[in-house]
Amino acid sequence: MSFTDAPMAGPRYTPLAMLERLVAFPTESTTSNLALIDFVEDYLRAWGVPATRIPNAAGDKAALFATVGPAGDGGIVLSGHTDVVPVAGQVWTSDPYALRVADGRAFGRGAVDMKGFVATALALVPDFLAAPLAIPIHLFLSYDEEITCLGVVDGIARMGRDLPTPAMAIVGEPTCLAVTDAHKSVVSLRTTVVGQAGHSSRPAAGASAVMAAGELIAELVRMQERLIEEGDPSHRFDPPYSTVHVGVVSGGVARNILAPQCQFLWEFRGLPGRTHEAVMAEFDQFATDVVLRRMRRGAPGAAIETICEVAVPHLSPRPGSPAEVLALRLVDSNRTITVPYATEAGHFQDAGIPTVVCGPGSIDQAHQADEFISLADLDAGERFLRRLAHEISRP
């Protein structure tokens, strides 16, 4: 049976028409994605494809897992997130939640990151059904990728229990269809410094949390220099080292009062093999041995606490993995790349599922006003998934 022989059962969409439907759902990470999930669930049901909804703890968001083709373990999971970044503060030429097609481009929030990939996979469900697939194609739609990358975790934990375990995963983030086998981790941290208020004319009679935070931030600068010297043994990443960055600092009462509290938010982006636990241990030792010891001379109750709020694992290269071999064959390439951003791929890899990142469009168009995916890239993504279906079909 050819793709064009697929029986009519549910509504048919081109990838562009499906993208129009998906963009119309304003699924910013701070809002619910359930309306989109309802739509996808109804669409799959109309084609006879059962789907498993995986809600979050609050019940206001959900991931969705569905299988096309033979039931059971194995096969390939096509994974994409349904949430998008905010549009607030951006100046758009048109409504960001109404797909606009012009000059060979489709404009809309999430068009490239990453509803373009999700739309293409969904639009091809009838063709996947018509193909004599030898192994299943699983669809996994997640939430909260843009803020925590935790929306896949509950679903992955259920694989091998009440969900099948895929043999490999393709995460369809925009890579211009270059096969990505590695990316850095991203770890979000919060450091809280508790000092003791007092008159600024007598700094030894208390402890300024702001001054202590300044010392800690200066240590992070020194740590960054050490990470630069350590470098990237693989010579594949840009920048070629792990990074630390402080994004927000808040604290203090007035300029003539020793600050009783200060807090700063920072992140660590680590090369594969460089763990955030080691970075935190080094930072905590400096905080305890140097900064806290000095603070407690005038403030015995002083404290410094650093907590890890979100840890997105890195994706490590696995040369010759089934996912890499298949994806390279599908794009007619013999080389992989790295990307500077993090994805959900590390969660799949940590669960023992060989994983690559490969999707249509460029990340350069994401997260900005008038986000777009070119129609040529959307077509290329369709060819990629059609070739996948052909590759895993019986003769």
The answer to whether 44 and 125 are in contact (CB under 8 A) is yes
User: Residues near 99 by Cβ (< 8 Å), separated by ≥ 6?
Assistant: 16, 19, 20, 23, 24, 106, 107, 108, 111
The answer to whether 118 and 141 are in contact (CB under 8 A) is yes
The answer to whether 337 and 179 are in contact (CB under 8 A) is yes
Mean pLDDT of 107-136: 98
Q: Which residue has the tokens 């992989």?
A: 336
Per the prediction, the chain carries an average pLDDT of 96
Measured CA to CA in angstroms, residue 112 lies from 186, 299, 379, 381 at distances of 21, 52, 13, 11
Mean pLDDT of 269-292: 97
Which positions are catalytic? 83, 145
- Cβ–Cβ contacts within 10 Å for residue 82, how many? 27
**What's the pLDDT at 8?**
56
Residues of the chain with CATH 3.40.630.10: 3-182+315-391
d(CA 335, CA 178): 8
**What's the pLDDT at 5?**
47
Mean pLDDT of 87-116: 98
Its CATH class, for the domain covering 3-182+315-391, is alpha beta
pLDDT, tens digit, 9 for 90 and up, residues 336-387: 999 999 999 999 999 999 999 999 999 999 999 999 999 999 999 999 999 9
- Per-residue confidence band for 258, with pLDDT thresholds at 50, 70 and 90: very high
d(CA 103, CA 82): 26
3-state secondary structure 198-228: CECCCHHHCECHHHHHHHHHHHHHHHHHHHH
Residues of the chain with CATH 3.30.70.360: 186-312
Pick the CATH number of 186-312 from 3.40.50.720, 3.30.70.360, 3.30.450.40, 3.40.50.2000: 3.30.70.360
pLDDT, tens digit, 9 for 90 and up, residues 328-338: 999 999 999 99
**What's the pLDDT at 2?**
38
Beta strands 186-194 and 261-269 are: antiparallel
Q: What are phi and psi of 374, to 5 degrees?
A: -75, 150
The side-by-side arrangement of strands in the sheet containing 355-357 is: 51-55, 62-68, 137-142, 76-81, 168-171, 355-357, 180-183, 337-339
pLDDT, tens digit, 9 for 90 and up, residues 195-235: 999 999 999 999 999 999 999 999 999 999 999 999 999 99
**What's the pLDDT at 1?**
35
pLDDT, tens digit, 9 for 90 and up, residues 1-24: 334 444 558 999 999 999 999 999
**What's the pLDDT at 9?**
80
Up-side HSE of residue 244: CA atoms within 13 Å toward CB?
A: 26
d(CA 369, CA 163): 38
Q: Which residue has the tokens 């009679």?
A: 205
- Per-residue confidence band for 322, with pLDDT thresholds at 50, 70 and 90: very high
